[in-house]
Structure 1
């Protein structure tokens, strides 16, 4: 079975990290796999055979225009390569629509779609595009039980659950001096450093994190928040500007209490996982939350949200703290507990160590191979 893992982007967000990690593990297990994506470069060296196709320009275009331009470009690239594969395994709605077009044009391929989550599009064209990207593929996978229920209820499609994995060796430990230097660079000497992953976005609950941090600061807790990531196909500029504009009103200073690190190289991301004191991940919607597993693998205690998807693999007070989503008072209390209770932090690390062996890329790839074989 010749498989192409197809993505609309090489941006190092959860969906593409999943695609790349899955492709590499399939390759390690001897599968005939190739990674195809729109983009100029990969964010780290890879071992799997891959082809990068040029993506659309962002300048002067709307989100709708970029989405449909990306579908067109990916369709063109796949049309010339489709004869090399039996399965086009797409990782997003853009890739799924492009692959379905290639199949409709006569290519003898099976289109598989992994639904990581569904975006909150607002224009009718994008809402319909996303819906068709779930309905049209031959087979649908999801990464959690919650999203199997959502796909069945909202789209009327059955799907198979294949969980994400984590590579515990992706982010090796760094010398203490190097970690101390990273902290000193952002003024974290002697302060409790929360790490956020994903940038300033509504889905990540960033504004709730800002408000909870402000509550901590006003009560005398010397904590700060550093955010990595933020590069996204979607445009969250309005939310980002409004959230950052609220910082002075909250008594927080950008560059002192809130640090925007942006999209960083993979090695540096690993450094921040190691240098921080806890992960603050108060998402209001997630497909899985791969950053949570990555943080746990790096020994970082986690405060997330009491979302159904997190409850599938985390236990509140045992492997993470899970305050109610969008409840800033509860989030503040959880963050305070992590700052003040070293024993709790150790307990959460131990609980995380018990969770991680259940979620490996080796097992994820093995399950995918079973599904590919059944399609044939």
Structure 2
């Protein structure tokens, strides 16, 4: 079976991480897989090497100074669609992983499958139209959790297949291995540089709940003054500079001085994760929580926003908080009283979520869909 997976970026965002891992796992099952994306900002390729068994198709996309979000979305769709149209997009299965790539694929052929990782709310007219079309027009839908599938059903009357994310658990578990001297040196290097720290991954943006995390860290300082905040991750396609400025101004007002790492090299992320004292994930909207599952794989305590989807995925393996003050309390509890049993359960949970199982479930869906088409 020839499978085209489509994503919108080469950066290490959750949907892009998912796309590459799924592509490689499908190729390992003997399928012919290609991944399409826009290559922004002069990127030479994806944020990490991709298995040569997967064909990478990158469409150059010129950055334009002062281009607003709406026009950039329209141009992104148009340029990706033009490349897909020129190629012919003749795969047996065309599977888009986000609204932008779904819109582009739908201009070329109607039988597009879409993964809905989470359901956003936008105000920019072009984004609203992109989001709505990418939900309503694909022929089949996949969600990575039951909670998002229920939201899609309730809001749009669309039934989706639920296939949970995989996680490269061994990569993060290896970074936490107490018997591996190289892994130990890498963890020690981060701790020398950063001290004790709460880690959040995903950049500074409204959906990631960064403002609430700043408030929580200010409260946490009363009981754990030696624990800092580290924020890792780069910018998205969208412009959150205003939000970022507000968050950093509030941090300065509260005396919170976060370390802003920006994008972290793929090979360095597991050690950064494993060296953290706590992993914070106060997102207001998620579909699964892949970064938090990676933290569990590294044996790190995880504090999550109390969302139905995160309760579904993480169960008793994480701490939950619904407000900045509760987040501070949960961070304090995780720092003060490490729970080895919970840590072991978290590692086991992460290890059960394999990309091989996710790929096999996708392949069953693809075959069933094509057999009845």
Q: Distance in 2 between matches of 1:241 and 1:96?
A: 32
* CA positional deviation for 1:358: 2.9
Match of 1:137 in 2: 138
Match of 1:123 in 2: 124
Match of 2:320 in 1: 322
Match of 1:92 in 2: 98
Structure 1: 4+ residue segments shifted above 4 A: none
Q: Is the 8 A contact 2:166 2:355 kept in 1?
A: yes
- Secondary structure of 2:271's aligned partner: helix
Match of 2:165 in 1: 164
1:308 aligns with 2:308: yes
RMSD: 1.5
Q: Is the 8 A contact 2:89 2:108 kept in 1?
A: no
1:179 aligns with 2:187: yes
Match of 1:262 in 2: 262
- Secondary structure of 1:246's aligned partner: helix
Q: Is the 8 A contact 1:216 1:222 kept in 2?
A: no
TM-score for the superposition, normalised by structure 1: 0.91
Deviations 1:64-90 (A, max 9, x none): 111111101111111122344121100
Q: Distance in 1 between matches of 2:117 and 2:71?
A: 22
Q: Distance in 1 between matches of 2:139 and 2:62?
A: 27
TM-score for the superposition, normalised by structure 2: 0.92
- Secondary structure of 1:11's aligned partner: coil
- Secondary structure of 1:304's aligned partner: strand
Report 1:1-376 matches (<5 A): 1-39=1-39, 40=43, 41-47=45-51, 48-103=54-109, 110-171=111-172, 172-173=174-175, 174-186=182-194, 188=195, 192-252=196-256, 254=257, 258-315=258-315, 318-324=316-322, 327-342=323-338, 344=339, 346-376=340-370
* CA positional deviation for 1:58: 4.3
Q: Is the 8 A contact 1:313 1:355 kept in 2?
A: no
Q: Distance in 2 between matches of 1:356 and 1:185?
A: 28
- Show structure 1 runs of 5+ residues with no match: 105-109
Q: Distance in 1 between matches of 2:206 and 2:7?
A: 23
Deviations 1:14-49 (A, max 9, x none): 000000000000001111211111113111111122
* CA positional deviation for 1:356: 2.0
Deviations 1:252-296 (A, max 9, x none): 2x3xxx100001110111221122111011111111111011111
Q: Is the 8 A contact 2:70 2:125 kept in 1?
A: no
Deviations 1:213-254 (A, max 9, x none): 1111134542111111032111111111101001122122x3
Q: Distance in 2 between matches of 1:129 and 1:176?
A: 46
- Secondary structure of 2:321's aligned partner: coil
* CA positional deviation for 1:193: 1.2
Q: Is the 8 A contact 2:25 2:359 kept in 1?
A: yes
Q: Distance in 2 between matches of 1:146 and 1:82?
A: 35
- Show structure 2 runs of 5+ residues with no match: 176-181
Q: Is the 8 A contact 1:7 1:37 kept in 2?
A: yes
Deviations 1:126-168 (A, max 9, x none): 2122101111111111111111111112222111111101012
Q: Is the 8 A contact 2:317 2:342 kept in 1?
A: yes
Q: Is the 8 A contact 1:319 1:347 kept in 2?
A: no
Q: Distance in 2 between matches of 1:369 and 1:220?
A: 48
Aligned residues: 357
Q: Distance in 1 between matches of 2:167 and 2:114?
A: 21
Q: Distance in 2 between matches of 1:83 and 1:338?
A: 49
Q: Is the 8 A contact 2:73 2:126 kept in 1?
A: no
- Secondary structure of 2:199's aligned partner: strand
